[in-house]
Amino acid sequence: MKIKFAGYVSLILLLSACTQNVNLSPNPQPPVKEMIPCAVGLFIDKGQQAQTFTAKDESCALGATNEWRLETGAALSIGAEKTFRKMFQNVELLSDMGEFASKGLALLIAPKIKGFYVGRDRRSVLTLVCEILNPKGETVYNESMSAGSLAESGMNAASCLLPPIVSLLVVSSENLTLNVEDAFNTAFFKLADDILKKVDFTPYLKKLPN
């Protein structure tokens, strides 16, 4: 029995030390009744796209630390594209801000992650900042929006104490994924709602490319 327990301990420590990559795929649902007939460019710089965040669970009684590398930059790109494609009839993904003028688009949308963390209660908090420019380079909108996830991620000391450790680590990873995606979904919802309330799109409605 002691040998069996020692085996569990060794397996736990070995697996708990691993860093797991967590792919995120948020699916925001902006409060849009009807798509806006406007052509916009969506730009997210490469530094933002490459962002990652490492979440740690140091609650293990055995002293091991679990780590999850969250692909937050990819989540920003996915969440932004899904949000604005549901808001506007035409969305062009731009790899360079210089493309904005050459494509004859009405507005340039540039969202960024201003802040992100996973707290001790395992809830994640995300702050987005979004700037919208018109063809003259004038700022039409520039606001930040914060949102926290609604539920805990499910990481706890039990995941480090009971076999089978592999299954429990997978569950923790899945819960963390849902937790972070919830923060992205909520932040993009609030951002879209704020944009719709504050931006007058009237001057840009007919600027759709042929």
Q: Write out pLDDT tens, residues 143-198.
A: 999 998 765 444 433 333 334 344 344 446 778 888 899 999 999 999 999 999 99
pLDDT at position 149, please? 76
Residue at token pair 């592999």: 166
Provide the whole-model pTM. 0.79
Higher pLDDT, 204 or 19: 204
Helices and strands, number each (H, E), in the chain: 5, 8
Q: Return the CATH number of 2-204, one of 2.60.40, 1.10.3470, 1.10.1740, 3.40.50.
A: 3.40.50
**DSSP conformational letter for 123:** -
Within 13 Å and on the Cβ side, how many CA atoms surround 126?
30
> Among 149, 40, 148, which residue's Cα sits nearest to residue 103?
40
pLDDT digits (tens, 9 = 90+) for 123-156: 789 999 999 999 999 999 999 999 987 654 444 3
Counting Cβ atoms within 10 Å, is residue 83 exposed (0-12), middle (13-18) or buried (19+)? buried
Q: Domain residues of the chain, as ranges?
A: 2-204
CA dist., res. 34 & res. 12, Å (int): 52
Render 121-187 in DSSP notation, one character per residue: TS-EEEEEEEEEE-TTS-EEEEEEEEEE-SS-----GGGGTSS-HHHHHHHHHHHHHHHHHHHHHHH
pLDDT digits (tens, 9 = 90+) for 63-108: 555 788 889 999 999 999 999 999 999 999 999 988 898 888 999 9
- End-to-end Cα distance, the chain: 74
